[in-house]
Amino acid sequence: MSSKLVIDSLMKHYPNVSRPAINKVSITIEAGEILALLGPSGCGKTTTLRSVAGLEQPTGGTISIDGIVVNDPANGIFVQPQRRNLGMVFQSYAVWPHMTVRENVAYPLLARKASAKEIRSKVDEALELVGLSDYIDRPVVALSGGQMQRVALARSLSYKPRLLLLDEPLSNLDAKLRIRLRDDLRKIIKEAGVTALYVTHDQAEAVVLGDRIGVMRDGELLQIDTPLGLYNNPANSFIANFTGAEAVLNGVIEPVGGRGVLRLVGSDEQIKLIDDEQLIKARNVKISIRPENVSINSVTEGGHAVAFVGNIVDRQYQGTQTLYSVDLYGQRMDILELGTSPRFQSGEAVKVNFPIDNCSVFIN
């Protein structure tokens, strides 16, 4: 059974620290949904997760699980962690080293006084879910890091928690394992049908795992949206940047008949028309573009709706792709081209095809 989690105006003030670690954070996670909480180190994501777990006492706001309030400091309500029926997986492999895989996964069921028959079937089911059925009698210390995290996950899911909380569970794994377990994790969580809160500073993890992503900075929740929404309509330049839009160019908007014409500083070419009044009023704006959304062509190739001529100043061959640094009217932008053979040289003039629908415009 999965549950709905509602976090409302949550606050956490640590004693003797002026800025709150979390500041009026409100998030609703629907039953069966995976919400990834993304943000740089120190933004307050772990504090939010630990508050939901009951391991941290928030100083304001409320948390409720399936309509039952578990935290409400203003009214003296605090439900102990063990009474919240949550599953947790952390960065460190929290497994019992002296036990086998079976004993580890059975542990929370024993603590809940389940019958031997029930324990057997639930352990089998949880290990099947994480793909470790063949390792059931192995001591956990004889497993790889990735397998230990699968044990930790199976142990957290075996007793069918109402919510699964995961705090950077892939951070200690090497790159290849991290990607494999990342891809499997979503399938496992969805198959278990459990509501999940997943904390990470890795945007790729958030995108692959989350049904929605919440982005935090300095204790505040800046935006919450689907991965597609977040990537294509970031609310501000911090989010655009944090989710990988590396090129930020200076733009200017000229008002024409109630609308605004967006141009790149130094160029006469119209990029697009703008209707946002605040942007038109600001005039000087930032245009953020993802390197992978821009394409480049030889200057001799055919036209494109909005194309600028730029010069390649540098290129970095990355094996499966090449990252070009291009000068555009005195501004630098990165452009990424997939493929194992770079097509352009440093110093070459190229046509830069501007992704009109995929550029975000922000006030300076």
Task: Please give the structure tokens belonging to residue 109.
Answer: 């069921």
Give the three-class secondary structure for 246: coil
* Residue from 4, 32, 42, 309 in contact with ligand ATP (CB under 6 A): 42
Pick the closest to residue 220 from 47, 25, 7, 3 (CA basis). Answer: 25
Pick the closest to residue 153 from 185, 175, 176 (CA basis). Answer: 185
Question: CA 249, 252, 253 angle in degrees (round to 5)?
Answer: 135
| CA–CA distance, 161 with 219 (Å, rounded to integer) | 27
Nearest approach in angstroms of CB 46 to ligand ATP is 3
Cβ distance to ligand ATP smaller for residue 163 or 199: 199
**CA-to-CA separations, 162 to 53, 125, 157, 304, 342, in angstroms, rounded:** 11, 17, 10, 53, 51
Pick the closest to residue 146 from 112, 178, 187 (CA basis). Answer: 178
Pick the closest to residue 168 from 94, 231, 236, 73 (CA basis). Answer: 94
- 231, 207 Cβ separation under 8 angstroms: yes
Nearest approach in angstroms of CB 293 to ligand ATP is 28
Nearest approach in angstroms of CB 304 to ligand ATP is 41
Stretch binding ligand ATP (CB under 6 A), from 25-33, 37-45, 58-66, 206-214: 37-45
Question: How would you class 111 by CB atoms within 10 Å of its CB: exposed for 0-12, middle for 13-18, buried for 19 or more?
Answer: exposed
Cβ distance to ligand ATP smaller for residue 103 or 168: 168
Give residue number: closest CB to ligand ATP: 46
Stretch (H or E) spanning 179 = helix 175-192
* Residue from 10, 23, 38, 39 in contact with ligand ATP (CB under 6 A): 39
Nearest approach in angstroms of CB 57 to ligand ATP is 11
Nearest approach in angstroms of CB 108 to ligand ATP is 25
* Residue from 1, 9, 14, 318 in contact with ligand ATP (CB under 6 A): 14
Task: Check residue 251 for interaction with ligand ATP (CB under 6 A).
Answer: no
Stretch binding ligand ATP (CB under 6 A), from 35-43, 245-253, 264-272, 329-337: 35-43
Nearest approach in angstroms of CB 21 to ligand ATP is 3
Task: Check residue 24 for interaction with ligand ATP (CB under 6 A).
Answer: no
- 204, 167 Cβ separation under 8 angstroms: no
* Residue from 5, 34, 44, 54 in contact with ligand ATP (CB under 6 A): 44
Nearest approach in angstroms of CB 348 to ligand ATP is 42
* Residue from 2, 3, 23, 47 in contact with ligand ATP (CB under 6 A): 47
Cβ distance to ligand ATP smaller for residue 39 or 58: 39
Nearest approach in angstroms of CB 42 to ligand ATP is 4
Number of residues that bind ligand ATP (CB under 6 A): 12
Nearest approach in angstroms of CB 243 to ligand ATP is 16
Residues near 200 by beta carbon (within 8 Å), at least 6 away in sequence: 36, 37, 38, 45, 168, 170, 206, 209
Nearest approach in angstroms of CB 37 to ligand ATP is 8
Residues near 25 by beta carbon (within 8 Å), at least 6 away in sequence: 7, 9, 10, 44, 48, 61, 216, 219, 220, 221
Task: Check residue 21 for interaction with ligand ATP (CB under 6 A).
Answer: yes
DSSP readout, 136-177?
TTSBGGGS-HHHHHHHHHHHHHTT--SEEEEESTTTTS-HHH
Q: Which of residues 186-215 bind ligand ATP (CB under 6 A)?
A: 201
Instruction: Report phi then psi at 120, rounded to 5.
Output: -55, -50
| Inter-axis angle of helices 175-192 and 116-130, nearest 10 | 130
* Residue from 10, 25, 27, 43 in contact with ligand ATP (CB under 6 A): 43
* Residue from 5, 27, 38, 45 in contact with ligand ATP (CB under 6 A): 45
Q: List interacting residues with ligand ATP (CB under 6 A).
A: 14, 17, 21, 39, 41-47, 201
